[in-house]
Amino acid sequence: MNWILLIVGGLFETGFAVSLGKAQEHSGKEFWLWMLSFVICVSVSMYFLYKAMGGEQAIPVGTAYAVWGAIGATGTVLAGILFFKEPVTFWRIFFLTTLVASVVGLQIVSSEA
């Protein structure tokens, strides 16, 4: 269950980054709606990160934060490509892949300890 909370929290991290990007594109009422979206997403994201690190099957803080951050970073890059017309280059995808591989590797060596 904690892993599900962590994954959902990472997705909401993507949501708060996208909300900030969209807020920069708008003004007036739309700006404030995107800022409200940001506040909700960051609150939910942090709460799920907090919950994932507690309880009977707590995920260690270092692992939880690394996975949460990698989910958010990956989702934000992909959202930037889809919603903000950011470039898709070999190097962006390469380093995004190495980020994910590094977090998987961290999890593998952490479970061996």
Q: What is the per-residue pLDDT for 75? A: 96
Tokens of 28: 């007036």
- Exposed/middle/buried for residue 52 (C-beta within 10 Å: 0-12, 13-18, 19+): buried
Instruction: Please report which confidence band the pLDDT of residue 112 belongs to, taking 50, 70 and 90 as the band edges.
Output: low
**Residue 106's pLDDT is what?**
84
Average confidence (pLDDT) over 52-74: 93
pLDDT, residue 113, reads 53
Residue 64 has pLDDT above 80, yes or no: yes
What torsion, rounded to 10 degrees, do the Cα atoms 97, 99, 101, 107 define?
Answer: -160
Specify the pLDDT at position 109: 84
The whole-number average pLDDT for the span 80-89 is 94
